[in-house]
Structure 1
Amino acid sequence: MRKGKSLIVTVLLALSVILLVGCGNQSKAADDDTIVVGSQGSDLDIWEHIAKSSQAKKLGLNIKTKEITDGAQLNSATSQGQVDVNAFQSWSYYKAYNKQNPKGKLAALGTTYLEPLGIYSKKYKSVEDIPDGTTIAIANNPANTSRGLLLLQAAGLITLKKDFGALDNTKDITSNPKNLKFKEIDDTTGPRVLNDVPVVLISNTVALESGLHVLTDSIYHEKIDQSTKENVNILATADKNKNNANYKKLVKLYHNKKIQEYIKKKYYGTKIEVNKPLTYLENK
């Protein structure tokens, strides 16, 4: 009788272990179905909205957001698999990161938007009004310095060398007919500097946080064309995941009509949708 009881206990213990293992595998499978989207700032807010949306549910996507405020760390986390897809960077930032990290490359999944960089002034109403010798404040980090100079060239204020690149700076100006002077600043301080410097270049995210609207308050801003395609934002993932079907669905989800209506209303039309194939960015 005791042997019979021992056998029953042994069988029950074995079944318990099997059930626990099975539950553990089911839990892991559920986790595997969750797409972790890493982001920051207003992009994080957008993806938190998207994660809760009925549009995400219709596509069968279970999205969880993760905030990482440093761009390089966010890309590294994506490369290492702590984040599945990230939403924060421009095409030029992505290319620079891949160049600097050949063993941890990322792959672009698709385009999202262009957030125009603007030229602001409390003193002048147009770029034509800017007089000789004017000081212009530009960002002191390489990517935004070059972007700002390209904008000044588009506005007709300066000319840059023909092969001007993402890491070039004021030394690469070939023509400066108005003898403009440049003051490098932390780009998050742009709105405050606007009280002391006659002309300031301010990114849209920083402008919005200060109550400025790039499409109406700037005296000149970026347009969507070949000269600004390097500044188009993308969704990115680890290179090994570039063909993941669910990750690619995130691009389609971002461009959903209802999602775009929400983004346009919340950010006053300043996150301009760019729904183009990656070849648009890849082709020179």
Structure 2
Amino acid sequence: MKKLLGLVLGVTVGLAGCSKPETPATDAAKSDTTKEHTVVMASTGSDADIWRFIASLPETKQAGIKLEVKNFTDYVAMNSAVANKEVDINAFQSYAYLVAFNESNKDKIAPVSTTYLEPMGIYSSKVKKVEEFNNGATIAIPNDAANEARALLLLQSAGVLKLKADFNPATGTPNDIIENAKKVVIKPIQMATAVRVKDEVDAIVLGNTLAMEGGLNVLKDSIYYEPVDQSTKLNVNILATAESRKDDPILQKVGALYHTEAVKQYVQKNFGGTKIDVNKPITYLTATK
């Protein structure tokens, strides 16, 4: 889990335990296409749950893929792992997050395929509508560049504040606020801690993966959430790999597995309709219109 650039990301965690796959996908693609190819994926939270389910599907076996999902707890570490080719692919981030990562890192990563969009939402224990915020209300937002900008755009869409006309949707910051009638205090915090501080502030802005892990459904529990349209396409989640491997046919097969009917049913049953399937070419994300 649910729209160029500078990025200051959190401290990475160690990559111990993330060994290179026994059969790298790039090598496998050159060999007998009937052979089973091992693909090692880095993921976390509900995304990891979905991909473990995909790993068990007969469709995955029929595609000649053995999918191994390794659990990570740090976003930067997952991107570093694919950039360094310590794993084949990862599943956790939006396209905007990937672009921001590339702006701040020498080793580049690239999208392989789209997966879903989860609307970002505003959650509050103190008000039922955004119009009810008191003057000086504190709103916590994610402190990583892509999600911080996304949260600010959401607050603008909700009418809480106004951003400058040339606001960057991937690296914009609270410094870009030009109108704030109620003088709300924007408090960037580590995204993973947001649910825990929900009752300590007037509202939190949270991505859906973490919201669901905290028992929240964006469609039912938020007081406002992102519209799902062209304005939010940068927030579509993707599979990512090292730049040199973006056209690997085996990894392309992995991407296609996400859009099988079995996965759609699993996501609907387990995630309450909050992960909206997006089966589009990568050019959908990069097109200017």
**Pair in the same fold by TM > 0.5:** yes
Alpha-carbon shift at residue 232 of structure 1 (Å): 1.2
Is residue 233 from structure 1 mapped to residue 269 from structure 2 by the alignment?
no
The equivalences for 1:53-202 within 5 A come to 53-102=57-106, 104-165=107-168, 166-202=170-206
SS in 1 for 2:159: coil
The structure whose Rg is larger is 1
Number of aligned residue pairs: 256
Letter in 1 for 2:273: G
- The root-mean-square deviation of aligned C-alpha atoms, in Å, is 2.1
The answer for the alignment partner of 1:19 in structure 2 is none
Whole-angstrom CA distance in 1 between matches of 2:212 and 2:260: 24
Q: 2:40 aligns with which of 32, 36, 39?
A: 36
Whole-angstrom CA distance in 2 between matches of 1:89 and 1:194: 23
Whole-angstrom CA distance in 1 between matches of 2:141 and 2:81: 30
SS in 2 for 1:194: helix
Alpha-carbon shift at residue 175 of structure 1 (Å): 1.3
User: Structure 1 runs of 4+ off > 3 angstroms?
Assistant: 29-32
Q: Could you tell me which runs of 5 or more consecutive residues in structure 1 were left unpaired when the two chains were aligned.
A: 1-28
Whole-angstrom CA distance in 2 between matches of 1:70 and 1:162: 33
CA contact (8 A) 2:36 2:66 kept: no
TM-score (norm 1): 0.83
TM-score (norm 2): 0.81
Whole-angstrom CA distance in 1 between matches of 2:102 and 2:122: 30
Larger deviation, residues 222-231 vs 87-96: 222-231
Instruction: Decide whether aligned partners of structure 1 residues 100 and 209 sit closer, same or farther in structure 2, where only a CA change above 3 A counts.
Output: same
Alpha-carbon shift at residue 32 of structure 1 (Å): 8.1
Structure 1 or 2: larger helix share? 1
Whole-angstrom CA distance in 1 between matches of 2:55 and 2:268: 17
SS in 2 for 1:108: strand
Instruction: Decide whether aligned partners of structure 1 residues 32 and 240 sit closer, same or farther in structure 2, where only a CA change above 3 A counts.
Output: farther
Instruction: Decide whether aligned partners of structure 1 residues 140 and 97 sit closer, same or farther in structure 2, where only a CA change above 3 A counts.
Output: closer
Identity, in percent, stands at 47
Deviation by residue 1:65-104 (Cα, 9 ceiling, x = unmatched): 22232222222221222211111111111112222234x2
CA contact (8 A) 2:191 2:206 kept: yes
Instruction: Decide whether aligned partners of structure 1 residues 251 and 161 sit closer, same or farther in structure 2, where only a CA change above 3 A counts.
Output: same
Alpha-carbon shift at residue 173 of structure 1 (Å): 0.4
